[in-house]
Chains A and B, each alone.
Chain A
C-alpha cells in the first residue's frame, strides 16, 4: 500500500518544518513555514480520506491565516528579538512531561484504521447506513454538518460572526474614501473654489453660461 508511505513522508516533512519554526527568528519566514505546514497537513488529510477537511485546511490554513499573519507583521516587528539563552530548560521539561503523558495515553488506543474501533460503532455507522435514504444526498459529511448536527454548525457560524465583530471592535474599519466630487456648484461654503475649478476645467468661453459663475 502506497498510502502509509506518503503519509509518513508528509509527516516527516512537517516535523522538519516545525523544528525550523522553533529555530527561525525571521517572522516572515515563520509565517511562510506555518503556511507550508498547513498545506502539508492538507495532504495528510487527503491521504487519510478526509477530502472535505483537506479542502478547508488548504483554503483556510494555507491561505487566509497566512495573509492575516503577514498583515500583522507589517504592523509589528519583522524579526524576533534575540534572547540570552537558546534553549530554556523549564519549558522543555514541561513539554517533555506533557508529551510523555500523552504518548502513554495513546498506548491503549485501537490501532490505526481498525474497523472495530469504538469510534466507528456508534452514531457514525448509522449515519453511513441511513443518511442515503433519510437525507438523500451522497456527501455524508454535508448531511451530518447541515442536518444531523445542524445545532453545532449554527453555533460555529455564530462564533465566526462573533469573532468578526471582535476584530472590528479591536481594529476598526476603514471608511470608503470620499468620492471625487464632480459637480460642486451651488455649495455656498466652497463657492470660491467652485468658481476657480469650473473656470480651470472648462475651456469653453465663460460667457456661454454667466449665471453659474455669478452664484459664488
Chain B
C-alpha cells in the first residue's frame, strides 16, 4: 500500500472531515436525521479508511484494541447507568423526566447521554470487528 499517493493524500484530507461529520451527526441528531447508530458507524468508517491505507499496525498504535474493548463496554454502561440514575432519583427505569426540573430539559439530557452511549458502543464494536477480521493472518 505504499504507492497509492493520490489515495493517501486525499484520504488524509478526508478523514478529519469524516470524523467531524460523525460528530455533527451524533450531536445534531435531535434536529436532523442522525443519532448514535449512524454517527458510530461513520466514525468507525473514518478509522477503517485510515487502516485500509496505512495498515493495521499504525492504526493499532493510535487506537489499541484494549482501549476499544473498554469503550465498547463503557457505552452500554453509560446507557444503563442513565436508567439506574433515574431509578435512584425516584422515577422508573429510563424515565428521563427525573433528570431535570422540567420534563423536556430532562428528556434532552437523557436522550443526549443515551445517544452518546449508543455512539460509543457502536463505533467501538465496528472497529473491533474490523480489527478481528483484518488481524487474522491471511491464509492462501
| A173 to B120 CA separation, bound complex (whole angstroms) | 19
Q: Does A92 contact B (CB under 8 A)?
A: no
A residues less than 8 Å from B34 (CB atoms):
52, 55, 139, 142
B residues less than 8 Å from A150 (CB atoms):
83, 94, 114
Instruction: Please tell me which one of the listed residues B29, B75, B104 contacts residue A157 in the complex, with CB atoms under 8 A apart.
Output: B75
Interface bracket on A: 35 or more
Instruction: Please tell me which one of the listed residues B64, B94, B122 contacts residue A151 in the complex, with CB atoms under 8 A apart.
Output: B94
Pairwise interchain contact A72-B133, C-beta atoms closer than 8 A:
yes
Q: A161-B121, A164-B125 are in contact. Are A147 and B132 (CB under 8 A)?
A: no
Q: Does A23 contact B (CB under 8 A)?
A: no
Pairwise interchain contact A64-B30, C-beta atoms closer than 8 A:
no
A residues less than 8 Å from B35 (CB atoms):
52, 139, 141-142, 145-146
Pairwise interchain contact A52-B38, C-beta atoms closer than 8 A:
yes
Q: Does A121 contact B (CB under 8 A)?
A: no
| A143 to B133 CA separation, bound complex (whole angstroms) | 35
Q: Does B88 contact A (CB under 8 A)?
A: no
B residues less than 8 Å from A141 (CB atoms):
33, 35
B81, chain A: closest CB distance, angstroms: 11
- Segment touching B, from A6-14, A98-106, A130-138: A130-138
Q: A168-207 interface mask toward B, CB cutoff 8 Å, 1 = contact, 0 = none?
A: 1011111111000000000000000000000000000000
| A60 to B26 CA separation, bound complex (whole angstroms) | 15
Q: Does B138 contact A (CB under 8 A)?
A: yes
Q: B102-128 interface mask toward A, CB cutoff 8 Å, 1 = contact, 0 = none?
A: 011101101100110110011011101
Q: Is the interface of B mostly helix, strand, loop or mixed?
A: helix
Pairwise interchain contact A171-B136, C-beta atoms closer than 8 A:
yes
A residues less than 8 Å from B114 (CB atoms):
146, 150, 153
| A42 to B84 CA separation, bound complex (whole angstroms) | 36
B22, chain A: closest CB distance, angstroms: 10
Q: A64-B41, A151-B94 are in contact. Are A71 and B111 (CB under 8 A)?
A: no
B residues less than 8 Å from A153 (CB atoms):
79, 114, 118
Q: Does A128 contact B (CB under 8 A)?
A: no
